[in-house]
Amino acid sequence: MWNTVQTDIFDESESYQMGSVMQKLDEIVRDFQSVGDEFRLELLLDYAEKLPPLPDRFQGRRTPVLNRVPECQTPVYLYVEVENQRVRIYADVGRESPTVRGLVSILISAYNGATPEAVMEVPPDLIHRLGLTNKIGIVRIRGLSGIISKLKMAVANA
């Protein structure tokens, strides 16, 4: 049932407008809401498997100050580029942290290729919308909030 998630979620050629970003996010939310509680974590793990590898040009640029998300207990390194009014999001999250990988993968799936304005509209209640509030715990909720803040800050500074 949860295997119906689109496999080409990281199509870099797709041109995003604000409406299509919200449609993509709404589609992801609908996928999570369409499965029972017992399958939501499995769907999240499916997204974790789809997190693309960090491009070579970012390897070795891991710094605790610039790229690491300090609110996350799990080491999460976030890299954001804005070119031609399109945001490209890259992340490095260890495979030993599939829940966090899945959350980051969802953000990338919905917002990679979006305009900076669309990225600034990431909803703060994303975990609740996905139906994961009672599944992942307060520490991961705080971590996702930190990831979203870091993403928005990187876009604002670009």
Which H or E run includes 83? strand 76-83
- Residue ranges of domains in the chain: 17-157
The 10s digit of each residue's pLDDT in 41-99 is 999 999 999 999 999 999 887 777 779 999 999 999 999 999 999 999 999 999 999 99
Nearest to 36 by CA among 146, 134, 138: 134
Q: Which CATH architecture has domain 17-157?
A: Alpha-Beta Complex (3.90)
Nearest to 80 by CA among 89, 71, 67: 89
Three-state DSSP class for residue 86: strand
The 10s digit of each residue's pLDDT in 87-137 is 999 999 999 999 999 999 999 999 999 999 999 999 988 999 999 988 888
The CB density around residue 41, as the number of other CB atoms within 10 Å, is 17
Rounded to 5 degrees, φ, ψ at 41 are -65, -35
Mean pLDDT to the nearest integer, 22-44: 92
DSSP 15: -
